[in-house]
Structures are given as C-alpha cells and as structure tokens.
C-alpha cells in the first residue's frame, strides 16, 4: 500500500510503498477513505511531547483521524464485517481495565494513539486493534470525510464543552480558533452558550463568527482578560484553552468570573514542556475550577455522531480543503507558520 511515513523529525515525510497490514485475531483492517492532518500529527513530526510519552519511534505512519470501510477482520471479531463504514476515537482502549469498564476508555491504562504508538492512517489501510471495542459504525448519512473531521479535533472540542458543563446562556471564552477551538465554538453555540473567540488572526476570528461566536478578541491588539470581562460584564463562566500555550492558558484562567471553570484541552509546546504556573491565590479566592479534557470517551462518541447525523453539528463546515498524500509536507509547513484555518483532510491516497 502507499503511505506517508516520518523517517526523521522535522524532515519531509516520504510517500512510499509499505506492506499491507494483516489483522490479528481481534483486529480489523480498514481501507482509509479520509484521514485528517491534525496539529497533533505535526507535534509528532516535530518530536514534541516526549514529556508525556508521545514522541513516536521512527519510522512511523502518522494519522489518527480517519473514516473508512472494513475490508478484513480477525477470527475473534464478532461485531463487524467487511463492507461496513466505520471510524474510531483517536485513543485506543484495551476494553479490560477499570477505566474502560467504567465508561472512560480515553483514560485507559493501556491507552495508545494511532500514528504515535503504532502506524496510523496516512495510508491506504490501517489496523484497528481490539476491533469489537474500538470500532464505531458510522450512521448512514455520515460520510468518511466527516468522520475524519470528527476523529480528534472536533470530538476533543465537543468533549471539552461537556467537561465544562456548559449551560444555555452562559459565556464561554475559547482561546484559539484553530480546528479544536472552532469545534468547541460550534458545540458551545449548539448548546445555547454565548461564545467569545480569542485568536491573533483576524481571518480565523471571522471563521469563528461563522461557527457561532457572538464576539471575538484579537489577542495581539487587546488585553484578553480585560476585554472578556468587559464583554461579559464580569468574566466568562467557562474558559477553554485549545492551544496549550502559556499565554492562552493564563488568559483563560484570568478571564473567568467567580466560580468559573477552566478547561484545558491543548497539550503544551516544547517551550512549556508540560509545566505552566497558575494564579493559585485567585483560583482559591474565586473558587475557580481547573479541569483537563482528553479526547472523547467511546460511549459518548455515539451521541456526538447522532448530533452530526441530525445536522445539529456540522464538522464538515470546518474542512478547509481535501488533499493528497503528497500534500502532507505542505500542510505541515502551513501548520509551522500558522497558515491553516480549519481541517485539511487526505482523501486521495
């Protein structure tokens, strides 16, 4: 099969032929019809995230946002067969640990990520291990490109809104109007919140308005906490950081009203290395909450897909363009220079 592989960090990926995957007894082989190019893939290509155990062993095929068709299953797979349209959450779950059994397999003791822990979906085919637990059948009116758009960034933004316990009428300030941020904006708007988008790019802020933001703040030209407190007459009920940069994390926390909740979605860059100082006295005195949010648990994925199927959420509206395997290097270069303004999806392999 044809695949794009990382051979060296920060060097161009190479499109080449590699052996087709063969399923083990509990596995399934998926013909990839669409694969998102995620900023997380870019981080893997950069060699980031070693501090959280996510720097991949090379060479590797990146990619963890995908939709496609089952073409082969192992002899122990009971719930899926060839020809079915499927997707997966980007985080593999073992199906056996206490977290998988309690409905939060995104916290699995053996969690793994396609394209980081083993070969991913920048290829014609991809293996899904423990297929009965990890595969999710697509509704008839949700295509593979939409599934790829959902596969990491949209479902992560969706879960972040859920972790924020966002209620209708509340003010939600989203730091970063990239793929995750736009997904959170669209989701928060869908549940009736008033959303403020924060970014340094006016084009991204305009896109945020299109996805439901009622106000925007350019962080280059405004003091973000002051601007949000003025717009909201006291501060946001929920702040969501979709970037993982020190400044955006602090802006989110400092923009909250008393009793507010900060939701951390974005993992940090090599500059922060996973460590960011927080205003702990303000958190104490204002009874603020700080919560983490990772992916979207498998059981909650079906509800997300139902909202998409019903047209209440529209991940495809955030797709910037469809690309080929040969375009991966260009997209990574655009990400390095913050030129992407939505999802780039590989649909030609």
Share of the chain above pLDDT 90, in %: 91
State the pLDDT confidence band at 273, using cuts at 50, 70 and 90: confident
Q: What is the pLDDT of residues 208-231, one digit of tens each?
A: 999 999 999 999 999 999 999 999
Q: Please tell me the predicted confidence (pLDDT) of residue 265.
A: 96
Other CB atoms within 10 Å distance of the CB of residue 196 = 26
Nearest by Cα to 129 from 140, 141, 117: 117
Model's pTM, two decimal places?
0.93
What is the structure's pLDDT at 317? 93
Q: Is the confidence at residue 131, as pLDDT, over 90?
A: yes
**Confidence grade of residue 277 (pLDDT, cut at 50, 70, 90):** very high
Are residues 154 and 179 in contact, defined by beta-carbon separation less than 8 angstroms?
Answer: yes
pLDDT confidence of residue 28: 98
Of 138, 115, 128, 110, residue with least CA distance to 64: 115
For tokens 């719930």, what's the residue?
Answer: 79
Residue 285, pLDDT above cutoff 90:
yes
Question: Long-range pairs for 220-226 at CB < 8 Å and ≥24 separation?
Answer: 224/175, 224/198, 224/251, 224/254, 224/255, 225/251, 225/254, 225/255
**Does residue 160 have a pLDDT over 90?**
yes
212 vs 47, residue with greater confidence = 212
**pLDDT at residue 51, as a whole number:** 76
Strand partners, 3: 16, 123
Q: How many residues does the chain have?
A: 349
Mean pLDDT of 155-170: 97
Q: Please, what is the average pLDDT of the chain? A: 95
Contact (Cβ atoms closer than 8 angstroms) between residue 298 and residue 132: no
For residue 108, the model assigns a pLDDT of: 97
Report all structural domains of the chain as residue ranges with CATH numbers, in order of start.
2-154+296-348 (3.90.180.10), 165-292 (3.40.50.720)
Region class of 75: left (phi > 0), else alpha (psi between -120 and 50), else beta? alpha
pLDDT at 292: 98
Residue 289 pLDDT > 90? yes
State percent of the chain over pLDDT 70. 100
Answer whether 173's CB lies under 8 Å from 238's CB.
yes
């Amino acid at each position: 099969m044809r695949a794009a592989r990382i051979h060296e960090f920060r060097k161009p990926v190479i499109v080449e032929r590699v052996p087709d995957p063969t399923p083990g007894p509990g596995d399934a082989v998926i013909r990839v019809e669409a694969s998102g190019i995620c900023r997380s893939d870019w981080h893997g290509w950069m060699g980031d995230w070693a501090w959280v155990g996510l720097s991949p062993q090379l060479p590797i095929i990146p990619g963890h946002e995908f939709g496609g068709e089952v073409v082969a299953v192992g002899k122990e797979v009971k719930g899926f067969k060839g020809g079915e349209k499927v997707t997966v959450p980007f985080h593999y779950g073992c199906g056996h640990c206490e977290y998988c059994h309690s409905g939060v397999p995104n916290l699995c003791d053996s969690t793994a990520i396609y394209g980081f822990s083993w070969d991913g979906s920048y290829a014609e085919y991809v293996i899904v291990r423990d297929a009965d637990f990890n595969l999710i059948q697509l509704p008839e009116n949700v295509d593979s490109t939409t599934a790829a758009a959902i596969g990491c960034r949209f479902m992560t933004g969706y879960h972040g809104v859920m972790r924020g316990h966002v209620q209708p009428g509340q003010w939600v300030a989203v730091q970063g109007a990239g793929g995750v941020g736009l997904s959170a904006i669209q989701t928060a708007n869908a549940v009736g919140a008033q959303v403020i988008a924060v970014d340094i790019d006016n084009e991204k802020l305009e896109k945020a308005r299109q996805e439901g933001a009622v106000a925007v703040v350019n962080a280059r030209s405004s003091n973000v906490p002051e601007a949000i407190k003025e717009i909201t007459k006291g501060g946001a009920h929920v702040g969501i950081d979709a970037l993982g940069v020190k400044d955006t994390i602090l802006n989110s926390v400092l923009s909250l009203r008393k009793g507010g909740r900060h939701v951390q979605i974005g993992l940090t860059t090599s500059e922060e290395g996973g460590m960011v100082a927080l205003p702990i006295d303000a958190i104490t005195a204002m009874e603020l909450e700080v919560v983490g949010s990772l992916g979207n648990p498998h059981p909650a994925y079906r509800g997300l897909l139902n909202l998409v199927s019903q047209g209440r959420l529209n991940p495809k509206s955030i797709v910037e363009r469809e690309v080929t395997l040969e375009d991966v290097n260009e997209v990574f270069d655009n990400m390095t220079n913050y030129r992407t303004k939505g999802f780039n999806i590989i649909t030609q392999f």
